[in-house]
Amino acid sequence: MLVAPDKFKGSLSAVEVASRVAAGLRAARPEVTVVSVPVADGGDGTVEAAVASGFARVEAAATGPTGEPVTASYAFRDGVAVVELAEASGLHRLPGGRLEPLTATSHGTGDLIAAALRHGARRVVLGIGGSACTDGGSGMMRALGVRLLDARGRELPPGGGALTELRTLDLSGFERPAGVEFVVAGDVDNPLLGPDGAAAVYGPQKGASPADVALLEDGLARWADVAEAELGVRVRDEPGAGAAGGVGFAALAFLGARFRPGIDLLLDLLGFSARLSGARLVITGEGSLDGQTLRGKAPMGVAAAAAEAGVPVVAVCGRRTLTAEQLRGAGIQSAFALTDIEQDVARCIAQAGPLLQSLAATLAADWLPEPSAGPLGGTRT
């Protein structure tokens, strides 16, 4: 049995979800071998998933989104570094949870990239999601040696709100690392600018008012104009340039990164296909199985990989809004939600672990018949 869930956001990490599901399965069917492979799609929990799969966790000093020093982590194995933007520049790093839409910076993500390069990384996988900032990745590039100057040659303060004053870049302290491959793992395809861009779509989630969104849009446009002219590229309209408040743009323009769907990239890194060998069933999941799941979230990637190997897939979740037909279309034969056994949503969140363990026992009864009962069952939707 292969257990490969993403996190239940706000309740359980992917590692915790996998552990609870495995415990419920073992309690119900102690004769069954359960292998846990927590997964992620490039957002929160990406480093944790890599570490659970055998990467080493490496701690490094970094700058938090409002300038405070933090200790963050990246994952490393055989020259490959997995850097998670949320580790240093995520919403959870904001002091007191206070949103700072105009001044939050991605500098700490650049600190982690620099640390990974010093550690000997020849391939850097940058997972982008959960960002606290809308600075176009300018903070990340500052950490890697780029200076942003105003009309009087003074360095700009951090954050997307200051980018409207940008006039020139000083690249004397920056050199694209030779022989290093950069890959961005993400699950959004927004361009940098416009109604589908970083400021308009994601700025409000980070506390931006309508006036702030307009200022951030102007700043990102100025950043793109100056950076693209300096570098001789045009990437602002590329899919994913607007990801993580525009960090995708900086990765494309300055680091020559390429984008891959986050879950596909992470499954490759985790050696997921090889782990499918001999599996009778795959159990995936995330906090909410809904319309967003169908747009390439982790359960979709797991289901696609399992389908190639001919292994059936079922899912666990906190809540489910997808129909049975939608689930089957996504390659998921059945889904089990915490709200099936506890209708109080607040209790589902507060008691997610024990409830999930009980749910896994129900799943086992449906999908893991007693050894004498023959092939896999499964009628639940």
Angle formed by the axes of helices 352-367 and 14-28, to 10°? 50
Q: Where are the domains of the chain?
A: 2-39+275-373, 46-263
C-alpha–C-alpha distance, residues 330 and 293, integer Å? 9
Burial of 250 (0-12, 13-18, 19+ CB in 10 A): buried
- The radius of gyration of the chain's CA atoms, rounded to the nearest angstrom, is 22
- Give the CA count within 13 Å in the CB-facing half-sphere of 144: 22
The enclosing H or E element of 168 equals: strand 168-170
Please choose, from the candidates 115, 132, 135, 113, the residue with its C-alpha nearest in 3D space to the C-alpha of residue 124. 113
Beta bridge partners of 75: 57, 82
- The CATH class for the domain spanning 2-39+275-373 reads alpha beta
Tens place of pLDDT for every residue, the chain, 381 residues? 899 999 998 899 999 999 999 999 999 999 999 999 999 988 889 999 999 999 999 999 999 999 999 999 999 999 999 999 999 999 999 999 999 999 999 999 999 999 999 999 999 999 998 899 999 999 999 999 999 999 999 999 999 999 999 999 999 999 999 999 999 998 788 999 999 999 999 999 999 999 999 999 999 999 999 999 999 999 999 999 999 999 999 999 999 999 998 899 999 988 999 999 889 999 999 999 998 888 888 999 999 999 999 999 999 999 999 999 999 999 999 999 999 999 999 999 999 999 999 999 999 999 987 665 444 544 333
Are 246 and 136 contacting, i.e. CB atoms less than 8 angstroms apart? yes
Unique residue bearing structure tokens 């929990």:
45
Q: What superfamily does domain 46-263 belong to in CATH?
A: Glycerate kinase, domain 2 (3.90.1510.10)
DSSP state of 287: E
The enclosing H or E element of 360 equals: helix 352-367
- Give the CA count within 13 Å in the CB-facing half-sphere of 96: 3
Are 242 and 222 contacting, i.e. CB atoms less than 8 angstroms apart? no
Beta bridge partners of 123: 80, 181
